[in-house]
Chains A and B, each alone.
Chain A
Amino acid sequence: MTLSTLWFILIGLLFAIFLFLEGFDFGVGMATRFLAKDDLERTAIMSTIGPHWDGNETWLVTAGGAMFASLPMWYASLFSGYYILFLLVLVGLILRGVSFEFHKHAETRTGKNLWMWAFFAGSIIPPFFLCMILLSMVQGIPMDAAGNAFPKFFDVVNLLSIVGGVAGVLLSLVHGLNFIRLRIEGPLRDRARKLNQILYPILFLGEVVFAVLVFLQTDFFTKRFFSSLIITLLIVLFSLLGYYGVLKNREGWSFAGSGLALSMVIVLLFNGLFPRVMIATNPAHSILIKDAANSPYTLTIMTIVACILVPIVAIYFIWSYSLFTKRINPRENTVKY
């Protein structure tokens, strides 16, 4: 395996970890409207991710940085090609990022409401448009010989990209509810489970539609039939695991299942892309990993750096989660956060 392929896999891994972690952050943000019934519950829900959301989002920043550092031609084409969509993702992330602090400081009901809505909007916009970008990209878009992407409106907005965006939002919501079941006690915990009992059947329907559209609209199943099939089945299987956890009230299983299902979506896309990073409608203009990559010297340095730093990050990251394990009860304590 070449270093550039290794970095393609590493970028995929970083995105997968990002979706696993920030996925439930997004879901928690959505739950402020879909699950909570009053401000007290909304604030309690928000506070479940208070210490974690920033660290979780750093995985996206790292994935972006790693893309720039190892496969810059991909980074350049993707980010410039989907300019408006990335702008919308950024607007969502900005609103969401400030909402925690600003909500804490707001003193009027209107102010609190405003930032709680910003938190909700900032939790639903990024997963929708990120998934939309990824699923538009894998269908193949117009590109020039220099590697610039010029997706037309219907290359970006089409059935698969919209279904993909909705599926990303739905999976995040389900994942977020599973996280809430782990972190909150009282009626909210039960309601989150009940809501997931309704959402999971819808999710399964969505996953089937998604799989059919991926089969029809991309070359994943013609290029790599077996691996694509297996990964698609894994997405469903992990979702079933999550559903099992909902039915049997096993919260840990639910959380692991929905998180892994989200990660598997990235695995499916990266598996289908390989050995390309951008798929052009004219195959001659597609960008291959080897053409997108940096020099072996740079990649060697990056590999050494990653081998040293990623394990250290993982250790204190997990430790930071172990500090906040006590369940939050929105009714017993007036949540100040």
Chain B
Amino acid sequence: MLGVGLSIVSLARFQFAMTTVFHFFFVPFSIGMGFLVAIMETIYAVKKDKVYLDMAKFWGKIFLLSFAVGIVTGIIQEFQFGMNWSEYSRFMGDVFGAPLAIEALLAFFIESVFIGIWMFTWDRFKPGVHAFMIWMTSIGTMLSAIWILAANSFMQHPTGFKINNTTGRIQLTDFGAVVANPQLWKVFPHVILAAFMTAAVVIAGMSAWGLLRKKKDENHFFKTSLRFGLWASLIFAIASAGAGDLQTQQIIKDQPMKFAATEGIYEDTKDPAPWTVVELIDAKDHKASGKIEVPGVLSILAYHKLSGSVKGMNTINKELHAKYDNKFGKDMNYYVPPKTLFWSFRVMTGIDALVMLVALVGLIFSRKKKDTIENHKWMLVVLGLSIWLPFIGNSAGWFITEFGRYPWIVYGLFTIAQAVSPTSTVASLLFSNIIYFLLFTLLGGVMVWYCRQTLHHGPYFEEADSKQNVDPFAKEAFGQ
């Protein structure tokens, strides 16, 4: 990605990477936040413990901020396929449009309508009914993930289609196969569990900052939130790692090059395959050196058994040339960016392991019998800084998924270079890249600033405030 010239394809790719990565900061966060806030409100509805109502309201504010930025950056994506990738839209329209339209009809309407109701009806419905609104919103966000991942899974592993002989474009033959794509049902749990983990880590981290303020009346609130966030972090970090392992099994089958690159393997490994912890990659000459290896572990990761070798990128490159040369020509480069994938994988898995560790230590320090976490300021600071980890991990995960598909936009069928709009110009792409960059800097900065401010005010700020002011949609205003 770095060091690209100002060609139309590289500018369009950069813009897509920038807009999706920025969008994907907020998507998992919102999905996870909606789900966890829904759980908080449900606990309140069942147990009538007021601290859970306070939690749902307070973390609900953070959820709404994230949701707002997630939505506006999402609209870009829908327009972007047509704007920058019109050849892709023509080639893939028969398959890609349907999941996108269903996503809008099924998911976007649910989440946008019910979040509007949920925001303004705290005082109008019974707790259980009000919790139903956030559950609908949360279900909407998850349905949205299913459909957009269905479209993405087709791009990773096309199923249920044929190539139309007259147009040369993809034609859908089996919609059921698109929905039943094994990639989809491996990637969806991984993404959704990582989303839950993201929100959990943020809740735990912000609560840790809250506890550092040492305000007596807020202690119970932030302590409960912290424990809630830590438990959720631990559970979902383990679960997302498990789901990621299942996804790996699929990737070895469908996209061996992607898998070999995440493990930095150029030559076929011995049997059983050793796992490389770190190595120096020479992407130009297609070799790696300075390996630190753990024997046998890669066979376990790849096949869940103690034997079996893993194919290297050089072998796979030859195989792909043999398979695709008569269609795409001899000059294709089938190596995916090995450094990006190798290190992204280590960052992603490393962060997941770190989250497990930090959550576990946090839980031990804050356990009911011997709750001493306030005395360990360093621990609260570590938790507070951990907020940023899942966002880096999520981005690394998408890097693997998307860079690992190189050079194709639709695996084995259509290359990235073929997909770009013929109408694009360097000037217009440069213009849009700059505009988006400035906008995202503004939105990201303001969003973080307002989250910080919300935390600074604490959970009981609004209540003192609302004695003088009445919300336009509050019960008083409606006279109910």
Contact = CB atoms under 8 A, between A and B. Distances in A.
Contacts of B276: none
B68 A98 contact: yes
A81 B423 contact: yes
A117 B469 CA distance: 23
Contact of B470 (A67, A107, A148, A334): A334
Contacts, number: 244
A55 B113 CA distance: 5
20 contacts: A50-B473, A51-B120, A55-B109, A57-B75, A61-B104, A67-B97, A68-B93, A68-B100, A69-B100, A93-B72, A94-B72, A98-B443, A101-B68, A294-B93, A294-B97, A298-B97, A302-B97, A305-B98, A320-B113, A336-B466
Contacts of B117: 51, 320, 323
B90 A79 contact: no
Contacts of B79: 64, 79, 86, 90
Contact of B69 (A86, A98, A323): A98
Nearest to B169: A72
Nearest to A47: B472
A44 interface: yes
A324 to B, nearest CB: 6
Contact of A68 (B72, B82, B472): B82
Interface stretch (A167-175, A199-207, A208-216, A310-318): A310-318
Contacts of A73: 90, 93
A333 B104 CA distance: 37
Contacts of A70: 97, 101
A50 B98 CA distance: 30
B172 A295 contact: yes
Contacts of B124: 323
Contact of B89 (A57, A75, A328): A75
A77 B86 CA distance: 7
Contacts of A278: none
Given A76-B89, A80-B423, A148-B423, A62 B172 contact: no
Given A79-B82, A90-B76, A91-B439, A324 B104 contact: no
A324 B473 contact: yes
Interface string B71-98: 1110110110111101101101111111
A86 B87 CA distance: 18
B112 A333 contact: no
A62 B86 contact: no
Contact of A72 (B84, B94, B173, B453): B94
| Interface magnitude class on chain B | 35 or more
By Cβ-Cβ distance, the 5 closest A-B pairs, closest first, are A72-B93, A79-B82, A69-B97, A51-B116, A97-B72
B105 A313 contact: yes
Given A51-B473, A316-B109, A333-B472, 14 more contacts: A58-B104, A62-B101, A68-B82, A75-B89, A76-B86, A76-B87, A79-B89, A94-B75, A101-B64, A148-B423, A295-B171, A298-B171, A334-B468, A336-B471
Interface stretch (B233-241, B256-264, B424-432): B424-432
A295 B116 CA distance: 37
B83 A337 contact: no
A52 interface: yes
B30 to A, nearest CB: 12
Interface size range of chain A in the complex:
35 or more
B439 to A, nearest CB: 6
Contacts of B72: 93-94, 97-98
Contacts of A306: 105
Contacts of B297: none
B84 A80 contact: yes
A75 B92 CA distance: 12
Given A62-B101, A298-B98, A334 B82 contact: no
Contacts of B105: 62, 65, 305-306, 309-310, 313
Nearest to A77: B86
A302 B101 contact: yes
Contacts of B84: 80, 83
Interface string A22-58: 0000000000000000000000100100111111011
B83 A50 contact: no
B465 A336 contact: yes
A13 to B, nearest CB: 13
A81 B164 CA distance: 25
Interface string B364-379: 0000000000000000
